[in-house]
A = this chain, B = another copy of it.
Amino acid sequence: MNLDQDERLLLAVKHYLQVRQFSIKISEPLTPEDCAIQSTPDVSPIRWHLAHTTWFFETFLLKTQPSYVVFNEAFETLFNSYYNSVGQPFPRDRRGQISRPGLNEVHQYRQHVDEAMKTCIEQNRFERHEWDVLTLGLQHEQQHQELMLTDIKHGFYSNPLHPAYHDDPKVNILSPLNDDAKSQSSISTCSMRWHCVEEGIVQVGHAGKGGFSFDNETPRHRTYLQQHEISSRCVTNGEFLDFINDKGYTRPDLWLSLGWAHLIQQQWQAPLYWICDGDSWSQFTLSGVLPLNLNEPVCHVSYFEADAFARWAGKRLPTEFEWETSANNAAPCGVFADVLFRNREPIHPQIEAPAEDVGINMFGNVWQWTGSHYSPYPGYRPASGALGEYNGKFMCNQFVLRGGSCATSSDHIRATYRNFFPPETRWQFTSVRLAND
């Protein structure tokens, strides 16, 4: 396509507003109070997400624009997440303890910044490296959109009333009374097949050209894979229930030592959001509490649980490079947040398609824990300045997840994408894919 500059700028504005608008769309069903709470220090209030993503553009792009008028000087500290170079961030675990600025004021803040951004883009005021920051800012906002959905889910679950996020009757809710849900519960998943990969040198990582990537995906480099098999789909709720019924949560020999300590301390007996009703199990979802569908991929398990399940099954988790190598040939066929919203479908993992011809499904639906610690690639260089704090400083005691989930935007994911969380994390849409030597 041959666009002149004005067209490119118009497209850039359109893309900017589209991404920004999706954050608002996610928060639309919420009350001001829903946007205020922080149900555990790991999550953040939705209002904070809306403000912080805005702060990102203001801090890293607008503040240096001569004509820009800062919305509120105090926001610099208040909505800084972890950028020590920018100043002392407001303590993370107290984000739910401040009531002002309120939701309305945060919306005004967003409009103020969006108008300034729009003007700057339209008038082509950004320099070359600032266009990269703009792209990063939109990717950053997409990451927070996923966090918003997972944080809303955790907040609603923490409330004994168990409110549903998808309570709009126009949304195709996965409720027991809903015909689609009923019919879905009778869908079977496909059988788990094993894809064999030969040993040898492979190329992994992002080349850093031809599309956006985070710095942690680079540089592209050679690595050596051992021969292995990788499973064609994720573990299902039914398979995970077998693990539970086989006393998986009471046998320390199946667990990493730290994982067992967590299990004891947190009294884990099942994945997060599973609810035991005597004999049967149900599951809290963004559509409220629903019967556990045994054919869906298991979700909201920690690395510890994923690892223990794999050990119980006589398998292991794939490394991130095993995963990436298989993903290079796989078509994204899972569900993604933007598509689900567009189709008025609930944010929830789908039963993996029964059709045998899909080959292997690596993307969407649920994140997959890999056995790889989140470490820098050989030759890794973080970005300079404050944005160098984006990824590198978190490369300790976290594990890599791959593939994206039903809460990820479809244009945000790729085969080289590295998500990462501490091994005890459960509130993300995280699941188990198996590998074997």
Contact = CB atoms under 8 A, between A and B. Distances in A.
Interface of A: 31-40, 47, 74, 77-78, 82, 84-85, 90, 94, 96-103, 155-156, 158-161, 163, 199, 201, 221-224, 226, 228, 252-253, 255-260, 303-304, 316, 371-373, 375-376, 378-379, 388-389, 393-397, 423, 437
Given A160-B90, A161-B74, A201-B224, A257 B36 contact: no
Contacts of A38: 97
A163 B161 CA distance: 32
A14 B199 CA distance: 45
A101 B253 CA distance: 30
Nearest to A98: B159
A253 B388 contact: yes
Contact of A393 (B90, B222, B257, B379): B257
A36 B84 contact: no
B379 A375 contact: no
Contact of A97 (B96, B221, B304, B395): B96
A437 B160 contact: no
Contact of A160 (B47, B78, B395): B78
B397 A158 contact: no
Contacts of A82: 257
B33 A47 contact: yes
Given A90-B160, A158-B98, A253 B389 contact: yes
A396 B425 CA distance: 14
Contacts of A99: 31, 33-37, 155, 159, 163
The residue among A259, A373, A379, A388 with the most chain B CB atoms within 10 A of its own CB is A373
B379 A437 contact: yes
B393 A255 contact: yes
Contacts of A423: 396-397
A256 B388 contact: no
A375 B316 CA distance: 12
Given A199-B222, A372-B375, 17 more contacts: A32-B102, A33-B35, A33-B102, A34-B100, A34-B102, A36-B99, A74-B161, A78-B161, A97-B158, A98-B159, A99-B155, A100-B163, A201-B201, A228-B378, A253-B388, A257-B394, A378-B437
B97 A37 contact: yes
A396 B96 contact: no
Given A33-B99, A375-B371, A375-B373, A224 B226 contact: no
